[in-house]
Amino acid sequence: MGAAPERGPFDGPSRGGVDVTGRSVRRVAVIEGDDSAPEAVRPVVELIDGLSLGIDWVYPLVGDAAIEASGSALPPASREMIDAADTTLFGSSSGSSSEALIYLRWGKETYANERPCRFLEGARSVLADPHRIDFVIVRENLEDLYVGVEGDLDTLGPLAAKDRSGRPLAASGPGRFAIKTTTVAGSERVIRHAFELARRRQRTGRVTCTAKTNMLPATDGLFTDIARTIAGQYPDIEFETLIIDDFACRMVRDPKRFDVVVMPNLYGDILSDGAAGLVGGLGLAPSGCYGDTYAYFEPAHGTAPDIAGTNTINPTATLLSACMMLRHIGIPDAADALTKAVERIYAEGRHLTPDQGGSATATAFCKAVAGRM
């Protein structure tokens, strides 16, 4: 959501073909998600479909419906539909549809998660002066503790692993462990993505790398060392490193100083949600996950099960995620027009959802946006 399009590294031909007029058709797979998520996705798709952009929407069968029909939460036909699409618009998952999310993330190797944090005039921020906040957290999306290798401590006995006091971990008593991984290749590609994004945004031209290097020199230290090396290849981009707890404090005290911030997986997941709190909440938090050959887009807010069925979920995050998607598949003008329409709705303040102090439904919000196009 910076000054220039957020585009992933993939910029190949559309998989959707052309229509009868010869216009390129983009095929977008839609996975609505769970709980309240479909109540945001459906009016957003309806809004964009009404713009006649040449998008072919397809709906892979996933989750509970897929289990009932085929015995699998993500049957082969659904994977093929995702593979054949130019991109995927995903709602949010809290259940069986998460298997599709795992495929989109690890199966398609979408390693760079861009999470913009940008204040919209009229949004309900807790800050006295949130104006001009506009930065992007780039989160490494596949490694770190999210590789999902966990187990019982007593299984570490053959490794003779010890804690900082020299005591064998296996002798600590009953407990669990998790493995944190940082690879050279995984770090290089996401850090390079962050530098390229800073160039495209043309804002302050600064990349901040943050991790817990003082306590985790082997893993987080490697991530930061790689960032320093890559920074030398981008002399036009200012570069700095911060320890993650220092960054968390500065993000709250002086968020306007940041442009692109790159960090390992777990920190990015947590702090991007914290960043959303600066500008009005998770209902305004879009997200795009980019790989070398595929990208998918989803809001960062979760499924909001407590308001499911009320049509009051804020669709802004889904709509702004869809704008990132439109830029990625080569329709930037529509993305810019939609973004400006959203900005006008917030500035006017008459069609906002309850989380922003209004009374509009998700459907009414999207209709209001359509009316400002």
Distance, in Å, from the CA atom of 157 to the CA atom of 176, rounded to the nearest integer, reads 13
169-213 per-position pLDDT tens digit: 888 889 999 999 999 999 999 999 999 999 999 898 999 999 999
Q: Under a CB-based contact definition with an 8 Å cutoff, are residues 267 and 209 in contact?
A: no
Torsion of CA 23, 29, 34, 39, to 10 degrees: 10
282-313 per-position pLDDT tens digit: 999 999 999 999 999 999 888 889 999 999 99
Q: Under a CB-based contact definition with an 8 Å cutoff, are residues 31 and 64 in contact?
A: no
CATH domain 125-140+182-279 topology: Protein-Tyrosine Phosphatase; Chain A (3.90.190)
Q: What is the pTM of this model?
A: 0.92
The conformation of residue 357, written as its DSSP 8-state character, comes to T
100-148 per-position pLDDT tens digit: 999 999 999 999 999 999 999 999 999 999 999 999 999 999 999 999 9
pLDDT(32) > 60: yes
Residues in the chain: 373
pLDDT(17) > 80: no
Distance, in Å, from the CA atom of 352 to the CA atom of 124, rounded to the nearest integer, reads 10
Q: What is the pLDDT of residue 15?
A: 63
The conformation of residue 35, written as its DSSP 8-state character, comes to T
236-262 per-position pLDDT tens digit: 999 999 999 999 999 999 999 999 999
Architecture of the 1-116+282-373 domain: 3-Layer(aba) Sandwich (3.40)
pLDDT(14) > 70: no
Distance, in Å, from the CA atom of 58 to the CA atom of 216, rounded to the nearest integer, reads 44
Q: What is the pLDDT of residue 46?
A: 97
Give the percent of the chain with pLDDT over 70. Answer: 94
Distance, in Å, from the CA atom of 259 to the CA atom of 194, rounded to the nearest integer, reads 10
Structure tokens at 272: 């991007």
Q: What is the pLDDT of residue 23?
A: 56
DSSP readout, 151-179? EEGGGGGGGT-B-TTS-BGGGS-S-EEE-
Structure tokens at 17: 């073909």
38-57 per-position pLDDT tens digit: 999 999 999 999 999 999 99
Q: Output the average pLDDT for the chain.
A: 92
Distance, in Å, from the CA atom of 103 to the CA atom of 86, rounded to the nearest integer, reads 15
The ranges assigned to domains in the chain are 1-116+282-373, 125-140+182-279, 145-179
pLDDT(20) > 70: no
